[in-house]
Chain A
Amino acid sequence: MAPIRPNAATGLRPFLRAAPGIRPPFLARTASPPQLPAQRWHSSVNPDEVSHFNALASEWWDPHGSSRLLHLMNPLRHDFINACLTSQPEARPSSLTYLDIGCGGGIFAESAARLPSTSSVTAIDPTPSVLAIAKAHAKKDPMLASKLSYQQKSIEELPTPEKGYDVVSVFEVIEHIDQPAAFLDKVKPFVRPGGWLVMSTIARTWMSWFTTNLVAEDLLRIVPPGTHDWNKYINEHELRRYFAGKGWHSPRVMGVVYIPGVGWREVKGSEKVGNYFFAVRRDAEES
């Protein structure tokens, strides 16, 4: 079945975006250590993306709005994180700290904070209106206040913690970033040794171009046009290659497919063609 991108990004583009076959920036950059270009305010954040999400903010929590597919996908993120934690040889920590990068309206951040096994969630996003939506929505659930905190920041602006977080999540984000390799380098210090970096994205295939860009955005319009830039999609093997030899281990992947009338389901092997989750565990000791 088809990969479908539930939310966000980049200003409106012409009907057909760059067609498949063009090598994305990510591949080029993994070959040599990434060099950060000089940035005005956010190094990893594309201002076009910020303005696109600003425009989408009001629909974020509408269960029948453009973010519906993202809401429906959210439980599977927890299933995937659970699978990561139970795959560890040692027992999972009794309480977990989360950092959610690019939290958007807080769909994942709120749900992580509700879990009894969570001690705290720090959630960041650079888009002001989106973060305002997230904060206003969190007030609707009194149990969140003690565990969930939002900050309008990019990862560069967040002070590097001493200990790091048990779980750092980067959901539906890296395909919106101009230099994903540089971004992932910056994320690493936020994951505590032995902690997990968990992300989700879409494979860059003909299938995903067809379904997410052409069908979902341009023809069916179930995803706002301009949400996806197919060229920024990243394939699983590219992620594996990036993390190899950089102080990470135990990469895990889970391909998920949206089946109309049924919902999101894990489908083995579908990470090669569409939406997938990917996680790596940081080495216990720095190499």
Chain B
Amino acid sequence: MARRGYATMTNDIYDVVCVGGGPAGLSLLAALLTSNLRVALIEAQDLTKSSVLSLPPSKFSNRCSSLTPSSAQFLNSIGAWSHLQRDRIQAYHEMQVWDGVTGARIEFDWPTQGTEKTIAYMTENLNLTSGLLGRIRELGGVDIFESSKVEQIQLGEETEEMDLRSWPVVQLSNGKTLAARLLVGADGANSPVRSFAGIESRGWDYGRHGVVATLALEGEGWGGEYSKTAYQRFLPTGPVAMLPMPGNFATLVWSTTPANAALLKRLAPKDFIAAVNAAFRLSPVDLAYMHSQNEGQDEEYQWRMQHTQTNPRMLPQAVVGVQEGTVASFPLKFRHADTYIGERVALVGDAAHTIHPLAGQGLNQGQADVQSLVGAIEYAVSHGQDLGTQMWLESYNSERYAANHVLMGVCDKLHKLYSVESGPLVPLRSMGLKAVNALGPLKGFLMAQASGSGAKVI
């Protein structure tokens, strides 16, 4: 197309332009709207899709996240928490984690009985985005460009009055241009903002898919409605986790091979239910056989359970139903951008890092990114600094990069450690789990990390 001068109109100039209206981008906007900054949001999708949570109380979306108390606290501090539908959020207070090969187990529960201590809150992503949008609408003052694709991003030009050669200028599919003092990429793993900034993102694919589904259980959990437990079993193919939702519902996150994922998605409901129950109960050998069957998992499961010893109280309650249309899968990746900042560019959430879902930390990392970036922006603004310049973004990068790196490394190593079926690593890792289980203070430290309330590792 013909070259033209971009963004010489004053009304095209913004302090912060955020690309991406997911949980991270929306949190950033909600946090910035109480300042006097001129802010814009660009979202490729129609935002009504992420703002309407019209499911009945007995139906739950299959995309859920485990929000740590620190994330919840941040959402509360930016005025968004009260906009979430609280009756669709489920707190849990205990974690059961065990090794599928050796059975070694670690139980996480808070030692002090009586004083309620929440490890995390299970929340539908849709509940979160619609709550954030509710807060953003309440505050007003943001220019939202939805159903708008980013056509291209390039640097601005110099004119008689101003020199925007260091300013990213975003051109939308409708022809509109926005010049950004700070361009925030909250635009996901394939971030166009990151590409524009020339920031490499490195990593690998795990060769695993995450299978999700909304499940109905035989009851509200062994501890009843006020004491819920999250379960995770490490299988050689990847961890399978069942996380409590309100009532007798739960959400499944099962990392497994792409072939297994494809099979699980095609199974009839009763066979799918049997496969899930089996994943928490049967031996890896049994499971491998069941995953080679095209159908009939239900019968196979019933038969094999007659020959398997289990302690039901140590396991999630049996799955009795799966909500129609909720079985889905996505490929698992490990990605980490080389840096989160450039001149007038910052990356948050999945644009900066993609993590293995086994610790349920992806969304929380994004919230912590946003909280840190907002802190950097507020410091710059209150001291008259240009909030887009790299020097005043440095604190964000140094605060978050190392913290994310440690967490991502731990999750990656856990995944690899538990992918091993035999050999010297297997007894060692069981010993590790048993040792951790026996050591109260270490367990407390690990739980505090998981709930985001502990002293930071870095």
Contacts and interface: CB of A to CB of B under 8 A. Distances in A.
A74 interface: yes
Contact of A71 (B163, B181, B391): B391
B163 A75 contact: no
A33 interface: no
Nearest to A109: B384
A111 B401 CA distance: 28
Contacts of B383: 74-75, 78-79, 111
Contacts of B165: 140
A55 to B, nearest CB: 23
Contact of B379 (A71, A75, A115, A140): A75
Interface string A100-129: 000000000011111110100000000000
Contacts of A163: none
B161 A111 contact: no
A261 to B, nearest CB: 10
Nearest to B160: A139
B384 to A, nearest CB: 3
Contact of A140 (B13, B164, B381): B164
Which of B36, B165, B382 is most buried by chain A, counting CB atoms within 10 A of its CB?
Answer: B382
Chain B interface SS verdict (over half): loop
B390 interface: yes
A114 B384 contact: yes
B389 interface: yes
B166 A140 contact: yes
Contacts of A115: 384
Interface string B84-111: 0000000000000000000000000000
A136 interface: yes
Interface residues of A, number: 22
B13 A142 contact: yes
A116 B36 contact: yes
B385 interface: yes
Contacts of A145: 161-162
A162 interface: no
A141 interface: yes
A139 B163 contact: yes
A111 B162 contact: no
A113 B385 CA distance: 10
Interface residues of B, number: 22
Contacts of A141: 181, 386
A269 interface: no
Contact of A113 (B158, B382, B384, B391): B384
Given A63-B389, A142-B10, A142-B13, A110 B163 contact: no
A72 B10 CA distance: 30
Interface in B376-435: 379, 381-386, 389-391
Interface string B22-66: 000000000000001000000000000000000000000000000
B391 A110 contact: no
Contacts of A112: 384
Given A63-B389, A142-B10, A78 B161 contact: no
Contacts of B164: 140, 142
Contacts of B390: 63
B166 A142 contact: no
Contacts of A74: 383-385
A19 to B, nearest CB: 35
A112 B382 CA distance: 10
Chain A interface SS verdict (over half): helix
Contacts of B36: 116
A63 B167 CA distance: 16
Interface in B160-204: 161-167, 181
Nearest to A116: B36
A140 B385 contact: no
Interface string A1-15: 000000000000000
Which of A71, A112, A113 is most buried by chain B, counting CB atoms within 10 A of its CB?
Answer: A71
A94 B307 CA distance: 80
A63 B165 CA distance: 17
A72 B385 CA distance: 10
B162 A142 contact: yes
B9 to A, nearest CB: 11
Nearest to A142: B162
Nearest to B165: A140
Nearest to A121: B384
Nearest to A68: B391
Nearest to A113: B384
Nearest to B10: A142
B287 to A, nearest CB: 50
Nearest to B388: A141
Interface in A24-61: none
Contacts of B167: 140
A112 B178 CA distance: 26
B162 A139 contact: yes
A100 to B, nearest CB: 12
B162 A75 contact: no
A137 B47 CA distance: 39
Contact of A114 (B163, B166, B379, B386): B386
Contact of A111 (B10, B158, B181, B384): B384
A72 B379 CA distance: 12
Interface string B138-174: 0000000000000000000010011111110000000
A181 to B, nearest CB: 31
A59 to B, nearest CB: 14
12 contacts: A63-B389, A63-B390, A71-B391, A75-B384, A78-B382, A110-B384, A115-B384, A139-B163, A140-B166, A141-B181, A142-B13, A142-B161
Given A110-B386, A118-B384, 12 more contacts: A74-B383, A74-B384, A74-B385, A75-B379, A113-B384, A114-B384, A115-B384, A136-B163, A139-B161, A140-B162, A142-B13, A142-B161
Interface of B: 10, 13, 36, 158, 161-167, 181, 379, 381-386, 389-391
